């Protein structure tokens, strides 16, 4: 599977975290379906040109989080049971963290609460279609 | 590894082969354009050399400097002369090959020393290859000399002189002594090993000359001492007035022993330096 | 570093020191390189990386200290399983590529000719030519081909991608990653931090012969942060920060204060907040930031 994941090693975010987040995203969005096989550690390390131990670590984390399961000799698979929910929950945590950082930034730049809310609403209008407003 | 030594040695031998081939070609050309009926001379000289070998030896020494030229003096050639010529050529090659440890030290130690082989063994194989190369040069020169004589129709002029076998050994160990000297002088050099190797020739010849020069007594002592380590000092090719090689059997044996000792000592000194090197 | 597992380190340096006259090139360096890891050695020019490699492999005699491979001292037989690529190309330039490969075949039992040819093709090398006629990059590539052609268990690569074009640099990284995925241990140095960041799982930073930082790349990234605070007036001097061992460096510029801190619970955040800044934020650091902070003047 070409370029299912990408990593940017040059950011401050650890590569294994970038990988776990992307796998969760793929599972939550249905790009990876339950039961589907993931590339082997060796293959993914080669494809992304990152350290195999880093990929292995990402897989271990994903396993611990209940998103994938690994059976010796067969490989790693997206878990058939609660993987989608787990992944979605995990992603909302990632989103919450990103928003939190954004708000903190806004405050650190000296913006008032009202100004931050205004910016937040503008961003909502830009990214969420108008139909979503009705919900 | 021996393969690298093989490549290294064969490069020098190929050059020598070309030179030898040139000599053969020149001799052949000379023979073809020569007006004198060489075959007649062959027969005459052959008969002379065969039946009166003692007398022939007598002539050989007197005319040793034009021994290879056919002429009215019916020259005869002792094998020892050919051994001496081959020995000098082999010694030149020992000087060329003998900078081998220094060549490794010129930027290749990282390759040489990261092989599953002990360092001493590596150096010993290296130096054994140097000597094998010099011996090849000896054999090639000797063969070429005999072939040239054969082409010129003079091969029957050759005779086995009294000291032939001892001289064969002596001129085979001369390159060994020279190799030891060059290796000992260059093993730890990172550059200019070629210049040092060449300079040793100049020094060795100069020291021989100074030994017979009229020097103050103290300087003479210094020169004599240095000549003690000079391989050329043990490879003289002298004759007396009666035409016999001047050296006694015992002298020749002492020369051989000295040359072997010099060679072994030089190799050991080189080995010690090699083990102390750092990349 | 405490090693809780029983398996010996693939490479263990203990208090390695190398002095050349008055100059101390490597100064009491201790490193533990676990088996199967890709270990990146970073440092400015003259930091002692090449000298470390030379002492490691016995090419230079350490003034002090000890080196162990899988718990054992260095022996010639180890080189059957260890490939070294020096910083400066040390190949016999008078040989052709083919001849040099033959030399490798006759020297190493584990040499794999098919692999060597495949790698030579990957780097576009004409093996019939003499190494002397190769460009600098091609000579490096030739050294890489030889290093990887013997399926080594340990690879020591000093600036393996210097002089290579970006495509070939990728190939080198790929080869290292492939080797590590197959269980080999890779120790390498590089000026290109981006490469180290990608390929290495562990990294040590050398500065003037000393180790100034050592750890897992991912952990260092997670651990080493910049706390950036802005103040009403000029940033105040905070003596508490200067003596805090977890703080690598403090920078002040007008109203701005930046503290490079290591570890989460070192109190730096409290020490800064005690000075009542108008705002505080925590910035992630990439390896380059970490490197510059570690070797910068303190």
pLDDT tens for C66-124 read 999 999 999 999 999 999 999 999 999 999 999 999 999 999 999 999 999 999 999 99
SS (H, E, C) C82-114: EEEECCCCCCCCCCEHHHHHHHHHHHCCCCCHH
CB contact under 8 A, C197 and A16: no
Q: CATH says C11-208 is which class?
A: alpha beta
- As a whole number, mean pLDDT of residues B214-237 equals 87
Residue C200, pLDDT > 60, answer yes
Please answer whether residues A102 and A29 qualify as being in contact, where contact means their C-beta atoms are separated by less than 8 angstroms.
no
Give all chains having 3 or more CB-to-CB distances under 8 Å with chain B. C
Identify the contact set of chain C against chain B, taking CB-CB distances under 8 A.
54, 57-61, 76-80, 82-84, 86, 88, 90-92, 95, 99, 102-103, 106-108
Buried b (16+ CB within 10 A) or exposed e, B15-31: ebeeebeeebeebeeeb
- The answer to whether the beta carbons of residues B175 and B94 sit under 8 Å apart is yes
Residues 6+ apart with CB under 8 A from C52: C13, C16, C18, C26, C29, C41, C206
| Tokens encoding C297 | 């003047």
% of chain C surpassing 90 pLDDT: 63
On chain A, the residues whose CB falls within 8 A of the CB of C283 are: 12
Query: A82: which 2 tokens?
Result: 């609660």
Other beta carbons within 10 angstroms of residue B78's beta carbon come to 26
CA atoms within 13 A on the CB side of C48: 26
pLDDT score for C5: 53
What is the mean pLDDT of the segment spanning C196-214?
A: 92
Chains B and C form CB pairs within 8 A to the count of 60
Fold of C220-295: Alpha-Beta Plaits (3.30.70)
pLDDT band, residue B1 (cuts 50/70/90): low
A13 to C197: CB separation less than 8 angstroms, yes or no:
no
Q: Where in chain C is the domain with CATH 3.40.50.300?
A: 11-208
Given a cut of 70, whether residue B243 has pLDDT beyond it is no
CB neighbourhood size of A6 (10 A): 10
Contact A110 C278 (CB under 8 A): yes
Q: In this predicted model, which residue has the larger pLDDT, B199 or A135?
A: B199
The answer to whether residue A1 sits within a structural domain is no
Pairing of strands C38-43, C64-69: unpaired
Q: Is the pLDDT of residue C277 over 50?
A: yes
Identity of the residue in A14, A42, A46 whose CB atom sits nearest the CB atom of C218? A14
Q: Is residue A8 part of a domain?
A: no
- Give domain status of residue A6, yes or no: no
For residue A61, give its domain range: 15-130
Which stretches does DSSP call E strand in chain B?
A: 77-78, 158-159
pLDDT(C177) > 70? yes
pLDDT at B54 over 70: no
Residue whose pair of structure tokens reads 């952990």 in the numeric block: C219
Instruction: Place B21 in a pLDDT band, splitting at 50, 70 and 90.
Output: very high
What digits encode the pLDDT tens for the residues C223-244?
Answer: 878 888 888 888 888 888 888 8
Which residue ranges does chain C devote to CATH 3.30.70?
A: 220-295
Q: Is C28 left (phi over 0), alpha (psi -120 to 50) or beta?
A: left
Q: Does A10 touch chain C (CB under 8 A)?
A: yes
Report the first-to-last Cα separation within chain B, whole angstroms: 19
Query: Rounded CA gap, C139 and C164, in Å?
Result: 10
- Summarised one tens digit per residue, pLDDT across range B61-75 is 333 433 444 444 555
Domain count, chain A: 1
Q: Which chain B residue has its CA at the smallest distance from C87's CA?
A: B110
Question: With pLDDT > 70 as the criterion, what percentage of chain C qualifies?
Answer: 96
- 0.90 surpassed by pTM: no
pLDDT band at B247 (very low <50, low <70, confident <90, very high): low
Backbone angles phi, psi at C210, to 5 degrees: -110, 150
Tell me if C92 and B4 make a contact (CB, 8 A cut-off).
Answer: yes
Q: From the centroid of its chain, how far is CA B203? A: 17
Interchain contact, C178 vs A109, CB within 8 Å: no
Question: In chain A, positions 48-67, which contact chain C (CB-CB < 8 Å)?
Answer: 49-54, 57
Phi, psi of B164 (to 5 degrees): -50, -50
Q: What token pair was written down for B226? A: 């240095």
Q: Identify the H or E element spanning B207.
A: helix B193-212
Whether A and B touch (3+ CB pairs < 8 Å), yes or no: no
Confidence at C150, pLDDT banded by 50, 70, 90: very high
Taking only the tens place, the pLDDT of each residue in B157-169 is 888 888 889 999 9
Per the domain annotation, does A68 fall within a domain?
yes
**CATH label of the domain that carries residue A22:** 1.10.10.10
Tell me which chain B residues have a C-beta less than 8 angstroms from the C-beta of C83.
114
Residue B134 CA to residue B136 CA, distance in Å, equals: 5
Residues 64-123 of chain A with CB under 8 A from chain C are 104-105, 107-110
Give chain A's residues under pLDDT 70. 1-3, 131-135
As a three-state string, the secondary structure of A23-78 is HHHHHHCCCCCCCCECCCHHHHHHHHCCCHHHHHHHHHHHHHCCCEEEECCCEEEE
Confirm whether A22 is domain-assigned: yes
Q: What pLDDT score does A81 carry? A: 81
Residue of B nearest to C54 (CA): B279
How far apart CA B137 and CA B171 sit, in angstroms, is: 12
Asked if C198 and A57 come within 8 Å (Cβ–Cβ), the reply is no
pLDDT of residue B40: 39
Judged by CB atoms within 8 Å, which residues 216-255 of C form the interface with A? 217-219, 221-222, 230
Task: State residue C112's pLDDT score.
Answer: 96
The residues near C66 (Cβ < 8 Å, ≥ 6 apart) are C12, C13, C14, C15, C16
The Cα-based distances of A121 to A115, A118, A133 in angstroms read 10, 5, 11
| Residue A123 lies inside a defined structural domain of this protein | yes
The DSSP-derived string for A65-119 is TTSEEEETTTEEEE-SSSHHHHHHHHHHHHHHHHHHHHHHHHHHTT--HHHHHHH
Give pLDDT, residue B55.
41
Measure the CA–CA gap between C135 and C208, rounded to whole angstroms: 32
pLDDT at C6: 62
**Interaxial angle between packed helices A52-64 and A15-28, expressed in degrees from 0 to 180 and rounded to the nearest 10:** 50
């Amino acid at each position: 599977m070409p370029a299912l994941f990408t990593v940017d090693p040059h950011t401050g975010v650890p590569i294994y975290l970038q990988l776990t987040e992307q796998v969760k995203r793929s599972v939550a969005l249905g790009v990876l379906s339950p039961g589907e096989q993931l590339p082997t550690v060796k293959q993914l390390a080669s494809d992304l040109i990152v350290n195999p131990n880093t990929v292995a670590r990402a897989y271990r984390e994903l396993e611990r989080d209940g998103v994938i399961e690994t059976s010796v000799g067969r490989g790693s698979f997206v878990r058939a049971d609660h993987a989608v929910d787990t992944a979605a929950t995990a992603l909302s945590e990632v989103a919450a963290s990103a928003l939190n950082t954004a708000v903190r930034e806004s405050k650190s730049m000296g913006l008032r609460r009202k100004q931050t809310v205004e910016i937040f609403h503008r961003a909502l209008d830009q990214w969420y279609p108008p139909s979503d407003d009705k919900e | 590894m021996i393969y690298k030594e093989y490549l290294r040695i064969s490069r020098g031998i190929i050059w020598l082969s070309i030179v030898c081939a040139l000599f053969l070609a020149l001799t052949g050309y000379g023979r073809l354009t020569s007006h004198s009926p060489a075959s007649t001379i062959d027969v005459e000289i052959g008969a002379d050399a065969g039946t009166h070998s003692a007398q022939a030896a007598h002539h050989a020494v007197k005319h040793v400097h034009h021994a290879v030229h056919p002429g009215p003096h019916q020259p005869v050639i002792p094998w020892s002369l050919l051994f001496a010529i081959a020995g000098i050529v082999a010694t030149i090659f020992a000087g060329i090959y003998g900078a081998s440890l220094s060549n490794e030290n010129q930027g290749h130690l990282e390759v040489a020393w990261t092989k599953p082989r002990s360092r001493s063994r590596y150096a010993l194989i290296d130096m054994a290859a140097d000597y094998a190369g010099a011996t090849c040069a000896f054999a090639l020169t000797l063969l070429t000399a005999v072939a040239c004589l054969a082409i010129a129709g003079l091969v029957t002029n050759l005779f086995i002189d009294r000291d032939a076998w001892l001289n064969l050994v002596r001129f085979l160990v001369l390159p060994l002594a020279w190799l030891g000297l060059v290796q000992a002088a260059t093993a730890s050099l990172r550059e200019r090993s070629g210049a040092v190797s060449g300079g040793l020739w100049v020094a060795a010849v100069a020291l021989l000359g100074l030994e017979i020069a009229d020097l103050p007594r103290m300087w003479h002592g210094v020169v004599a001492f240095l000549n003690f380590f000079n391989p050329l000092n043990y490879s003289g090719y002298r004759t007396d007035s009666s035409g016999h090689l001047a050296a006694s059997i015992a002298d020749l044996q002492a020369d051989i022993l000295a040359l072997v000792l010099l060679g072994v000592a030089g190799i050991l000194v080189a080995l010690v330096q090699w083990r102390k090197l750092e990349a | 570093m405490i090693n809780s597992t029983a398996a010996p380190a693939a490479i263990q340096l203990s208090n390695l020191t190398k002095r050349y006259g008055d100059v101390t090139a490597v100064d009491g360096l201790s490193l533990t390189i676990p088996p199967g890891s890709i270990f990146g050695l970073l440092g400015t020019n003259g930091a002692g990386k090449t000298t470390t490699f030379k002492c490691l492999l016995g090419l230079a005699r350490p003034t002090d200290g000890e080196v162990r491979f899988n718990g054992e001292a260095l022996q010639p037989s180890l080189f059957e399983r260890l490939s070294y690529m020096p910083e400066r190309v040390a190949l016999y330039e008078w040989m052709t590529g083919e001849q040099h490969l033959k030399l490798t075949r006759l020297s190493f039992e584990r040499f794999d000719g098919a692999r060597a040819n495949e790698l030579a093709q990957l780097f576009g090398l004409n093996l019939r030519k003499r190494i002397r006629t190769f460009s600098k990059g091609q000579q490096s590539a030739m050294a890489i081909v030889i290093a990887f052609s013997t399926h080594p268990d340990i690879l020591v690569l000093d600036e393996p991608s210097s002089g290579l074009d970006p495509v070939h640099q990728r190939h080198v990284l790929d080869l290292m990653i492939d080797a590590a995925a197959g269980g080999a241990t890779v120790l390498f140095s590089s000026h290109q931090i981006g490469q180290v960041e990608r390929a290495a799982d562990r990294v040590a930073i050398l500065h003037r012969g000393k180790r100034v930082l050592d750890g897992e790349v991912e952990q260092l990234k997670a651990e080493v942060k910049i706390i950036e605070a802005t103040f009403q007036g000029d940033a105040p001097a905070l003596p508490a920060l200067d003596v805090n061992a977890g703080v690598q460096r403090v920078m002040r510029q007008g109203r701005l204060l930046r503290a490079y801190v290591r570890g989460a619970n070192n109190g730096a955040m409290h020490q800064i907040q005690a000075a009542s800044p108008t705002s505080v934020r925590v910035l992630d650091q990439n390896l380059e930031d970490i490197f510059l902070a570690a070797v910068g003047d303190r």
